[in-house]
Structure 1
Amino acid sequence: MTELPAPDAISANAAEGAKLVCRNLWKLFGPRARETLAALGDAATPERLAASGLVPAVRDVTLSVREGEIFVIMGLSGSGKSTLVRLMSRLVEPTAGEVLFHNRDLLSASDAEMIEIRRHKMGMVFQHFALLPHLTVLDNVAFPLDVQGVPRAEREARARKMIALVGLGGRESSLPRQLSGGQQQRVGIARSLAVEPELWFLDEPFSALDPLIRREMQDEFIRLQSVLKKTIVFITHDFDEAIRLADRIAIMKDGAIVQQGTPEEIVLQPATDYVREFTRAVPRAKVVRVATAMRKASGAEPAGTISARATIAEAAPKFLEGATALRVTDDDGRTVGHLIREDVVALMLGG
């Protein structure tokens, strides 16, 4: 069983190499929430908070999001994940705790400062596309730059670049109603990227899409991240989506994080019965990354290649074509190891 680090240990080390850090973060809805939480202290259990007339949406969350990683927060509906991501950007005001961005506590920033940080440092994509129906694709993507006061020629040039990046080149003059759901979501993604954010929040961005389009958007998201290498906080309730996209996962239940770790750690070493039940039906081959199963590169280079980020399940079909080994590459195409067919077979047969 995975032994989770103590919150104090996380607090002491979280800022190292981290873009965003949350420490002992709380959000309680109800009267005199701050005073009641302070009075209860360590005795602030969900039962006592409820008895005081408070609804605990987020409870004592401590986590860090590292530079350039996809950090997925997941849980069932009502677990607190969407509230947590809004606390990180102060769209919702925390009851207590710290939110550190570049080691600065955002809770000490003025409203005007937070507006500037959101405009220039943060990008946000939500489940509902929220495109302006009377504006073209180009104008929708350029809109946040217009709000920033960027000159028209510059903002349109940047918008065209983002539109091409998400695969919608040639649709700049289209209106949202002329696009499919997947295309509309691409416009939303391009719009959030137009400000060139340091920190990118995505709250269930694909959940409203049909399964096939959703898979295509996940593929597109993986491609974009390989190019942009953004620091991303991604919210989902879909575990398959989480393990496909995440570098690390935090699982929430009743407002608290019950386990943090890589997809492999979460599935192979569940910390609680809740996590164990959550992951029980997940095939191990869908979770174990090629980077974990590969061997040190030696001998002749195999002809076939596979990304180190790919799962064993994604790599396995390549061996059906007769390959005995695959060259494993990083995001820049460099060889980092070899994946051997016998190792893949052993892992898949072993469950």
Structure 2
Amino acid sequence: MTATPPVSSATPKLSAKHVWKLYGQGAAAHLEDASRLPQNGGDLHALCQAIRDDNGIVASADVSFDVMPGEIFVIMGLSGSGKSTIVRCLSRLVEPTAGEILLDGEDLLKASPKELIDIRRHKMGMVFQSFGLMPHLNVRDNIAFPLKLQGLSLRDRLERADRVIDLVGLEGREDSFPNQLSGGQQQRVGIARSLAIEPEVWFLDEPFSALDPLIRRQMQDEFLRLQSELHKSIVFITHDFLEALRVADRMAIMKDGAVVQIGRPVDLILNPADDYVREFTNDVPWELVLTAADVATDHRPPEDLPIVDGGTQIVDLLPQLAAADHGVAVKLPAGTMGHLTSRDVITALASGVKTDP
């Protein structure tokens, strides 16, 4: 679904394990009885309700997921669902009440303040909805600012800033100030600034939601282009399912601080865990969701048909299928070839499910 390479089966780059964030006096005491915790067989809903009944606020509730090397992992949910809280817990901008945050297997909750500062400066990049640019600095100096905190020389700072300026397409605007830039250009500066430190993990919290629709689409395209070159491990927050559909390798949907379902976007659409997940996907056009591999049968295709990759979206295949009387051959993930015709596509779009082989 994205421009990134397939996610490997390697050790996770980043993991959240049973992460809680509670507010309110005495709220944390509800987690002290291990038998009530979900990982020990306790009821998550009952535990959260008990915390709320005691005037506590459950911002994150037993959140667990892995982010694999090179993966774009999207977290989405309605306002107040806990998605922004959990991404701040991952970087310890918000201190979790309980759980583990593992970066390369090391628990960040055990890092000292000095170690945490070093990790943030050298391993984490962050981009938020608010651009946060310094108005008195030009583009180049805004981008180079975090490198000064890293202790790089002026020459090295400017060289690296110029490199990421080229990467995000801001050539010629190096000496411009933020008030001389459009919203999309300002967001490019924010992205370049976070990339300048060469982070291992990249956190993006609704980075494009403040942009108008046309610029937002362009920035999504730019983001995918960057990821195809950089292969970062990314946590991307959004409330827009169509945006998630464009960028996600996998995604988690949150409600009331808890994770409701994790999977590929197409898996969540085809097999929603409950009505809450189904509501997110009701208005998604199927041709933007299904790929050639989702719809193709495993019947042996006729010889001499055009061959397409199984990851190709149906919407991109429609013109080709319209001109191909016998359909196309599809490279399936198992290494075999499938067969896809316009009738298969019509059947799938009409029924909303994968055709049977």
TM-score range with shorter-chain normalisation?
0.7 to 0.9
Instruction: Flag the 1:119–1:300 CA change in 2: closer, same or farther, 3 A.
Output: farther
* Aligned equivalent of 2:269: 267
Contact 1:301–1:327 at 8 Å: present in 2 too?
A: no
2:74 corresponds to 1:72: yes
* Aligned equivalent of 1:63: 65
* Aligned equivalent of 1:25: 19
User: Which letter maps to 2:111?
Assistant: A
* Aligned equivalent of 2:156: 154
* Aligned equivalent of 2:179: 177
Choose which of 115, 130, 144 in structure 1 pairs with 2:146.
Answer: 144
User: Which letter maps to 1:277?
Assistant: E
Contact 2:148–2:157 at 8 Å: present in 1 too?
A: yes
* Aligned equivalent of 2:253: 251
User: Which sits farther off after the overlay, 31-40 or 70-79?
Assistant: 31-40
Contact 1:25–1:97 at 8 Å: present in 2 too?
A: yes
Displacement after TM superposition at 1:278 (Å): 2.2
Q: Distance in 2 between matches of 1:336 and 1:127?
A: 43
Contact 2:203–2:235 at 8 Å: present in 1 too?
A: yes
Displacement after TM superposition at 1:53 (Å): 2.1
Instruction: Flag the 1:171–1:298 CA change in 2: closer, same or farther, 3 A.
Output: farther
In structure 1, runs of 5+ residues without a counterpart are 1-14
Q: Distance in 2 between matches of 1:344 and 1:117?
A: 48
In the TM superposition, what are the counterparts of 1:18-167 in structure 2 within 5 Å? 18-39=12-33, 41=37, 42=42, 45-167=47-169
Percent identity of paired positions between Structure 1 and Structure 2: 54
Q: Distance in 1 between matches of 2:332 and 2:231?
A: 16
Displacement after TM superposition at 1:322 (Å): 6.5
In structure 2, runs of 5+ residues without a counterpart are 1-8, 353-357
Contact 1:297–1:336 at 8 Å: present in 2 too?
A: no
Q: Distance in 1 between matches of 2:83 and 2:257?
A: 7
TM-score under structure 1 normalisation?
0.86
Instruction: Flag the 1:297–1:163 CA change in 2: closer, same or farther, 3 A.
Output: farther
User: Which letter maps to 2:99?
Assistant: G
What SS is found at the alignment partner of 2:13? strand
User: Which letter maps to 1:27?
Assistant: K
Instruction: Flag the 1:322–1:176 CA change in 2: closer, same or farther, 3 A.
Output: farther
Displacement after TM superposition at 1:16 (Å): 5.4
Q: Distance in 1 between matches of 2:31 and 2:72?
A: 32
What SS is found at the alignment partner of 1:18? coil
User: Which letter maps to 2:266?
Assistant: E
User: Which sits farther off after the overlay, 16-25 or 235-244?
Assistant: 16-25
What SS is found at the alignment partner of 1:99? strand
**CA distances 1:281-329 after superposition (whole Å, capped 9, x unpaired):** 22222112345446799965849x7x76553223324545769548879
Displacement after TM superposition at 1:104 (Å): 0.7
Contact 1:267–1:284 at 8 Å: present in 2 too?
A: no
Q: Distance in 2 between matches of 1:309 and 1:187?
A: 32
2:216 corresponds to 1:214: yes
Contact 1:79–1:252 at 8 Å: present in 2 too?
A: yes
User: Which letter maps to 2:252?
Assistant: A
User: Which letter maps to 2:21?
Assistant: K
* Aligned equivalent of 2:5: none
Instruction: Flag the 1:310–1:185 CA change in 2: closer, same or farther, 3 A.
Output: farther
Displacement after TM superposition at 1:280 (Å): 1.9
Choose which of 282, 285, 288 in structure 1 pairs with 2:284.
Answer: 282
Q: Distance in 2 between matches of 1:150 and 1:126?
A: 24
Q: Distance in 2 between matches of 1:257 and 1:269?
A: 16
TM-score under structure 2 normalisation?
0.84
* Aligned equivalent of 2:4: none
Contact 2:293–2:332 at 8 Å: present in 1 too?
A: no
Displacement after TM superposition at 1:27 (Å): 0.2
* Aligned equivalent of 2:196: 194
User: Which sits farther off after the overlay, 319-328 or 109-118?
Assistant: 319-328
Displacement after TM superposition at 1:174 (Å): 0.8
Contact 1:119–1:144 at 8 Å: present in 2 too?
A: yes
User: Which sits farther off after the overlay, 315-324 or 158-167?
Assistant: 315-324
Q: Distance in 2 between matches of 1:98 and 1:170?
A: 44
What SS is found at the alignment partner of 2:144? helix
Contact 2:73–2:251 at 8 Å: present in 1 too?
A: yes
In the TM superposition, what are the counterparts of 1:340-351 in structure 2 within 5 Å? 340-342=340-342, 343-351=344-352
Instruction: Flag the 1:310–1:204 CA change in 2: closer, same or farther, 3 A.
Output: farther
Instruction: Flag the 1:290–1:175 CA change in 2: closer, same or farther, 3 A.
Output: farther
Displacement after TM superposition at 1:244 (Å): 1.2
